[in-house]
Amino acid sequence: MKDCQAMPSLQRKAAGMPPLRELFDTHPARGTIFRASGAGITLDYSKQRVDAEVLQALAQLAEQSGFEAERARLLAGEAVNKTENRAAWHTALRVPADQQTAAQSCVEEQLQRMEALVGKVQAGVWRGFSGKRITDVVNLGVGGSDLGPLMVTHGLREHAEPAGRALNVHFASTIDGSQLFDLLDRLNPETTLFIISSKSFTTIDTLSNADTVRSWLASHCNDETLLLRCHFIGVSAAQDKMTAWGLPAENQLYFWEWVGGRFSLWSTIGLPIALALGASVFRQLLAGAHAMDEHFRTAPLLQNVPVMLALLGVWNVNFLDIRAHAILPYDGRLKYFPSYLEQLEMESNGKSVNQAGEPLDYATCPVLWGEIGANAQHAFYQLLHQGTQAVASDFILAACRYEATAHIAYHEQLLAQHQLNIANCLAQSRVLAFGDAAVAADDTPWRRYPGNQPSSTLLLERLDPRSLGALIAAYEHKVFTQAVIWGINPFDQWGVELGKQVALQLQPLLNNSGAASAAKLDTSTRALALSIQQQQ
Ligand code: F6P
């Protein structure tokens, strides 16, 4: 974060910022003014601890960090990922076909190949080794090759086309094989198709699941060529590795090095989404994201939803010293949205050196976690209301729900539940902001609510493919904007590599083939390994 002109005024404002209660008293109209909207999403940030002067200074901070030039470089597909010398051009994946440049035309080509595969599976043209149609699909992938497709597939299930609804789409990511074990126990090898989703096609978590599946299938059919042709589709940026694994070229879908793993759900990594929901739903998701890209590109900073999310985050972390951020969707369909954002935000911006490799003397990404809001009320909200940590929250809410269920006998009850859910969401942001001043206070110390916990509310008209696409893209651009202000590279993740190497070193020790290397270990790890060996 450059030591720019805006810094002293931001520091001064932070030191004297009155509580939210007072901010509303002195400026009662802030609830209707402190909002931004774009691509169908309204961001109400009036319950953030900001005033007009702070907002101006934050916009100045973004400008002085070179944000506009960096945004142009991102959107033009320039090599913004400096440590890996490549672009991060996920926005190219959602440019409508008739607007794609020559450099982007490969996107439509792969999308059409993906749609052709989806059509074959959904129409029952693609068959298993014994000639039966496919009933189940299992995505084998982890991180960005799992979390985005899982989140979207779950979130939009109500929007699935009939052909997608007929398929059961499952996800297995864990390296221990436990999710797979559970699935294989229930699935029919004759009618199950596996997607091996891995940008690098070297991720051991995914490849060990794929190898286990291969053995499972081989125990039911001894024609390996047939199995590889009928039961696996690979999705990767490493064509050679998919071929080396044995996948025929027709069973391979590609994407490119310039698509980051956690930004890849828009690419052929979205295959499980298209299978489960339908190809046209996937296109609507892309269209929603593109609408947000355009909003991000064109809207003035203080009316720009992703930029505002970013600026408020920087304000909370770097000036108000709030190091925790809760993601609270009031919608059961967004169950996996918090874990998706955990990777997007923390793997991108959990950095402590700047683009030049110099250590930072300021904080970057906060600890981010979340849960379906109404469920979290019965779990960790106690800490939000009465704990000792300052926490910023994002409430996410759809105004309309259950319009399509008018024919269902219990439609009225569902509508009433939706209203109850909205009331809970609004109640929580209100109590977090104003504490027990929101109602008649009880003086008993353990019944007091101090309030002054800041939050934003992201309001969608309804949760549908377009609005979900826009919501995800808004957070992607938030992450990028913050990275520019913090002077870090959000597109690499070197911090995940060392653990992988050390795990490989430890493996021989656990299966008794590396006793010699045990001597070099710290005593804790050595004793744990020994205990495990003794118990096995
Ligand atoms: O280890 C982290 C990571 O590289 C993520 O960035 C990525 O999304 C995930 O692993 C999976 O990688 P791949 O798609 O290459 O298997």
**For range 531-535, the mean pLDDT:** 91
Band (pLDDT 50/70/90 cuts) for residue 513 is low
Active site amino acids: 347, 378, 500
**For range 28-35, the mean pLDDT:** 97
Q: What digits encode the pLDDT tens for the residues 411-467?
A: 999 999 999 999 999 999 999 999 998 787 778 899 999 999 999 999 999 999 999
Q: How many angstroms separate the alpha carbon of residue 197 from the centre of ligand 1?
A: 10
Residue 86 is classified by DSSP as B
Tell whether the model's pLDDT for residue 398 goes beyond 60: yes
Instruction: Please spell the DSSP secondary structure of 270-314, one letter per residue.
Output: GHHHHHHH-HHHHHHHHHHHHHHHHHHHHS-GGG-HHHHHHHHHH
Which two three-digit tokens encode residue 357? 């490799």
Task: Give Cα 350 distance to the centre of its chain.
Answer: 15
What residues are in contact with ligand 1 under a 6 Å CB criterion?
Answer: 142-145, 198-200, 203, 206, 261-262, 347, 493, 496
Atom of ligand 1 nearest to the CA of 200: 15
Atom of ligand 1 nearest to the CA of 497: 1
Query: Which CA distances in Å does 426 have to 331, 380, 480?
Result: 13, 17, 29
Number of CB atoms found within 10 A of residue 223's CB: 11
Burial class (CB in 10 A: 0-12, 13-18, 19+), 89: buried
Q: Which of 496, 498, 501 to mutate to test the pocket of ligand 1 (most atoms within 8 A of CB)?
A: 496
Atom of ligand 1 nearest to the CA of 144: 8
Band (pLDDT 50/70/90 cuts) for residue 485 is very high
Instruction: Yes or no: say if 456 and 425 are a contact pair by the CB < 8 Å rule.
Output: no
Atom of ligand 1 nearest to the CA of 142: 11
Q: What digits encode the pLDDT tens for the residues 351-361?
A: 999 999 999 99
Q: How many angstroms separate the alpha carbon of residue 496 from the centre of ligand 1?
A: 9
Which two three-digit tokens encode residue 371? 């849960």
Amino acid at 343: Q
Residue 439 is predicted with a pLDDT of 80
Tell me which of 164-168, 381-385, 451-455 is least confident. Answer: 164-168
Burial class (CB in 10 A: 0-12, 13-18, 19+), 169: buried
Q: How many angstroms separate the alpha carbon of residue 38 from the centre of ligand 1?
A: 31
Q: How many angstroms separate the alpha carbon of residue 204 from the centre of ligand 1?
A: 10
Q: What digits encode the pLDDT tens for the residues 200-234?
A: 999 999 999 999 999 999 999 999 999 999 999 99
Query: Which CA distances in Å does 306 have to 253, 297, 331, 356, 359?
Result: 31, 10, 21, 26, 27
- ipTM strictly over 0.95? yes
Tell whether the model's pLDDT for residue 514 goes beyond 70: no
Nearest protein Cα to ligand 1, atom 6: 261
Query: Over the Cα atoms of the chain, what is R_g?
Result: 25
Residue 515 is predicted with a pLDDT of 57
The percent of residues above 90 in pLDDT, for the chain, comes to: 91
Tell whether the model's pLDDT for residue 474 goes beyond 60: yes
Residue 355 is predicted with a pLDDT of 96
**For range 157-168, the mean pLDDT:** 94
Q: Which of 81, 83, 145 to mutate to test the pocket of ligand 1 (most atoms within 8 A of CB)?
A: 145
Q: What digits encode the pLDDT tens for the residues 275-333?
A: 999 999 999 999 999 999 999 999 999 999 999 999 999 999 999 999 999 999 999 99
Nearest protein Cα to ligand 1, atom 5: 143
Q: How many angstroms separate the alpha carbon of residue 141 from the centre of ligand 1?
A: 8
Nearest protein Cα to ligand 1, atom 1: 496
Q: What digits encode the pLDDT tens for the residues 33-57?
A: 999 999 999 999 999 999 999 999 9
Band (pLDDT 50/70/90 cuts) for residue 518 is low
Residue 429 is predicted with a pLDDT of 98
The percent of residues above 70 in pLDDT, for the chain, comes to: 99
Residue 420 is predicted with a pLDDT of 98
Q: How many angstroms separate the alpha carbon of residue 144 from the centre of ligand 1?
A: 6
Tell me which of 282-291, 370-379, 437-446, 476-485 is least confident. Answer: 437-446
Q: How many angstroms separate the alpha carbon of residue 226 from the centre of ligand 1?
A: 29
Q: Rounded distance, CA 448 to CA 217, Å? A: 60
Nearest protein Cα to ligand 1, atom 8: 144
Nearest protein Cα to ligand 1, atom 2: 496
Q: What digits encode the pLDDT tens for the residues 8-18?
A: 999 999 999 99
Nearest protein Cα to ligand 1, atom 9: 143
Instruction: Yes or no: say if 82 and 489 are a contact pair by the CB < 8 Å rule.
Output: yes
Residue 292 is predicted with a pLDDT of 98
Q: What is the mean pLDDT of the chain?
A: 96
H/E element, 518: none
Residue 438 is predicted with a pLDDT of 76
Atom of ligand 1 nearest to the CA of 206: 16
Nearest protein Cα to ligand 1, atom 3: 143
Residue 520 is predicted with a pLDDT of 80
**For range 179-183, the mean pLDDT:** 98
Q: How many angstroms separate the alpha carbon of residue 110 from the centre of ligand 1?
A: 21
Residue 442 is predicted with a pLDDT of 77
Band (pLDDT 50/70/90 cuts) for residue 517 is low
Residue 404 is predicted with a pLDDT of 87
**For range 11-31, the mean pLDDT:** 97
Residue 510 is predicted with a pLDDT of 84
Atom of ligand 1 nearest to the CA of 261: 8
